Structure 1
Amino acid sequence: MPLLPLLATFLGSIVSGLVFRALASLGFAYVAYVGIGQLIDSVDGYIKGLFGAIPPPVAAILGMAKVDVAINIIIAAVIARLMLAGMDRITGTITGLALLNKAGG
């Protein structure tokens, strides 16, 4: 039996498994990224909608107190926490939403 077809079959089976795993992990990461992005956008829109319903004098006081800046900082902290939870400790690469696998967050 020739060696070249046997080697090609062996390498094809290895490469196809690796490609499938890489595409599957990229797909999960993309779905998680898009889902978290939409969740953050909907929370942001909900908060802005609530601020649109308050009377103008109260809105002026909250504006002077920089409540809008505080809310933006909190939303940015949540995004940073999710990103850092998905990072691998050794390599610093993002492996996915590891926060979902941790007990207690």
Structure 2
Amino acid sequence: MQFLFVVQMLVIVLGPLVKMVLKMIGFGFVTYMGFNLIIGQAQDYLFAQMGNVGPVIQGILGLAKFDVVVNLYFAAISTRFLLAGIDKATDRKRAQVWHKPGGTSIEA
């Protein structure tokens, strides 16, 4: 009888917890796939437009490693969104560095 009570309690406690975790994983997966799709489409569009320019400009862009610059740019955008998402997930806010004069700040 005692064993049945423990099993029922575990089902009651773990059921909603498992459901919440699966929802969070599903939302994260959809967000990740959507973000990757958007970034991939933007990169493909930019590289397609680079192919439409003249051969002289293509040579200059190749020497300047423009494709590497584009990949770095999109990686920076992805990292920024990732860090913003982590801050929101942990509900952490940035500490304000500057305070307006008056009130609680010390005036010189």
Task: Tell me if TM exceeds 0.5.
Answer: yes
For 1:21 and 1:82, how far apart are their aligned partners in 2?
Answer: 23
Q: Which residue does the alignment assign to 2:63?
A: 64
Q: Counterparts of 1:1-105 in structure 2 under 5 Å?
A: 2-88=1-87, 95=89
What is the TM-score of this pair, normalised by structure 2? 0.72
Q: Which residue does the alignment assign to 1:101?
A: none
Listed as ranges, the gaps of 5+ residues in structure 2 are 92-108
For 2:57 and 2:5, how far apart are their aligned partners in 1?
Answer: 77
Letter in 2 for 1:83: L
RMSD: 2.2
Q: Deviations over 1:50-95 (max 9, x none)?
A: 0011010111122223322221211110011111112258xxxxx4
Report the more deviating stretch, 77-86 or 64-73: 64-73
Listed as ranges, the gaps of 5+ residues in structure 1 are 90-94, 99-105
Runs of 4+ in 1 over 6 A off after TM superposition: none
Q: % of aligned pairs identical? A: 31
What is the TM-score of this pair, normalised by structure 1? 0.74
Rg bigger for which structure? Answer: 2
Report deviation, 1:7.
Answer: 3.1
Report the more deviating stretch, 5-14 or 53-62: 5-14
For 1:18 and 1:59, how far apart are their aligned partners in 2?
Answer: 55
* 1:86 counterpart SS class: helix
How many corresponding residue pairs? 91
